[in-house]
Structure 1
């Protein structure tokens, strides 16, 4: 039977039916400092990224780039709010050591944090998949997306992703899964169990994240192959793909970061519920810390991996003309051609000058004979 379906003895609220605070755990002052620094670093990073994105959005004239910036903006806002909501609760616990049973006797606060953990956890994964779909259509089927498509379409896609993640986060309140206080008492999350509805929700959360990463990987692979063919093909001079390559690099880095940060936790959840093994708290906390790094590393992808920044790091590289992937080769070939033509031109000019000097003496008629 599912733990959430069992009758609760002594009117114990559902979120405290498995783990009931206070726990035999005394957080150190280092935990408070670590949580505070971690949350502050993530908030500052996402705030800087949002300012940079807003400035770029106002300056860009590319329709596809505007779409991509809207998706990035949605990702930055999601990461910022996720750190703000969950980080403030964790830091408050480490500072005040409050008792959840006293502060939240009816589990409303615990359910809110559990929903926040699920919502802000799934959003980056789903947004990465949505961005990969948008880039796949923009690169492989450019005529399928009209140039006159309003930017509100991208905004509606971001809102749709938020709606899907929100509906999944609300499922435990309908009986599919359940939110519980987790060790060491500073956070709430859904019950990772191989029984009843908890099994269904655990698999739903895990498979939704893994499928999003799989879709992103497959679509980005096809998009990269298409870009390579376009940039290195015969029509590379007609189809400039500077911004496409820049956006593709940023998207690939975002997907890689999501995969590295989230795959251990998603695989751990699926493996635990499918094997029927007992939950290992130490591994859950370890992989959860891995996952939270995603919200800090994501904004630095756009802050650092932009042409404006890369120009300063490598000013010799030709960032203004030609494709990024072929500009180095093109510069080398162009310089070699100019040198060769310059040498030939100087030699030809010299020969012409000599001929112009010697030609009159050669063509001069002989003096008349006496």
Structure 2
């Protein structure tokens, strides 16, 4: 394909956009330097309309989930102040909420603008930078949560001595320092941000033939896949360790029910309160394990397809379906929706209330005479 001189181009799936230095072509009323060449037959009107509708319908849902999670964390702030895990959860919720606020308006504005990103190349680079930053910060925070649970179970003494809520804040600061550094690399020539199909969002150029830009894409996808492996391995170790400990206790516990009742009767009030606190602490720890496993599973399901798609596209020099990339990034963005809802829904207090409601409903059905 012949291009006019002085034109830089970047592949963007079914369309190509050219950022003109010489104002060779101008198809915008506001004098932008953008020329669009649409390839024949490259239209997916129905999926675009569907995704546009979903974006508008899900936006309030996204915000409600994050806000509910923040309310729950605030109500449990006394317990959160003593536990590093809750500080990391709070950081994850704020991270997801900020990511939604910064990325969604650009995509929606591009749809409203007729699949043209307002703001041109500068907004595209900003959107790509934000996508990369939050595409790394979320898995890094979730990995930190998995490692925190691993240290708590396997290295209790080290955890008690070194892992305080203040450490969680330092971890989040360190994560964002690394994320900002990684996201700024394309600004200095290592990697590139380009418009992606269907011209409503920008991301790293994973269809490039430039080996330097391709190396950046490989680094991004490999790092994310490595983080998924770290999460899965840490959670497997935690779950297997707890299952082994519980099985050992159940096997070697010869204490009868009567002796337990007698021991409870002999306890004074302070000892009973300590026993209640220990049981509550065990329930909280079990809840954290359940939440962590759920978040890891959802993250792996949502993020792995995009990382695999990026790696395959780079390896095959762009010989992958464009629509798959769009579906993969939509699936990845869904992760920010589900994370806070998992924390809200999987809280033990809510589960107990749901169980009580179900029991009452069953009793009502049994006692209600049938016609």
- SS at 1:145's partner residue? helix
Q: Which residue of structure 2 aligns with residue 363 of structure 1?
A: none
- SS at 1:185's partner residue? coil
* Alignment map for 1:175-324 (pairs within 5 Å): 175-193=189-207, 195=209, 196-234=211-249, 241-315=282-356
Q: Which residue of structure 2 aligns with residue 117 of structure 1?
A: 131
Give the distance between the partners of 2:338 and 2:295, measured in 1 at CA.
Answer: 9
Give the distance between the partners of 1:287 and 1:226, measured in 2 at CA.
Answer: 34
1:183 shift after superposition = 2.0
**Structure 2 unaligned blocks of 5 or more:** 19-34, 256-274, 359-371
Q: 1:168-210, CA deviations, whole angstroms, 9 ceiling, x for partnerless residues?
A: 2111111111001112211111111363112101111111110
- Which structure dedicates a bigger proportion of its chain to strand? 2
Correspondence for 1:10 among 6, 11, 20: 6
Give the distance between the partners of 1:95 and 1:296, measured in 2 at CA.
Answer: 23
- SS at 1:176's partner residue? coil
Q: Which residue of structure 2 aligns with residue 88 of structure 1?
A: 105
Give the distance between the partners of 1:18 and 1:316, measured in 2 at CA.
Answer: 56
The alignment status of 1:35 with 2:55, answered yes or no, reads yes
TM-score by length of 2: 0.74
Do the aligned residues in 1 keep the contact of 2:115 with 2:200 (CA within 8 Å)?
no
Give the distance between the partners of 1:54 and 1:77, measured in 2 at CA.
Answer: 13
1:152 shift after superposition = 1.6
Give the distance between the partners of 1:75 and 1:155, measured in 2 at CA.
Answer: 11
The alignment status of 1:139 with 2:161, answered yes or no, reads no
Give the distance between the partners of 1:140 and 1:73, measured in 2 at CA.
Answer: 24
For the pair shown, which has the larger CA radius of gyration, 1 or 2? Answer: 1
Aligned pair count reads 305
Q: Which residue of structure 1 aligns with residue 86 of structure 2?
A: 69
Q: 1:269-305, CA deviations, whole angstroms, 9 ceiling, x for partnerless residues?
A: 1122123343421110011111111011111111110
Going from structure 1 to structure 2, the CA distance change for 1:23 and 1:139 (only over 3 Å counts) comes to farther
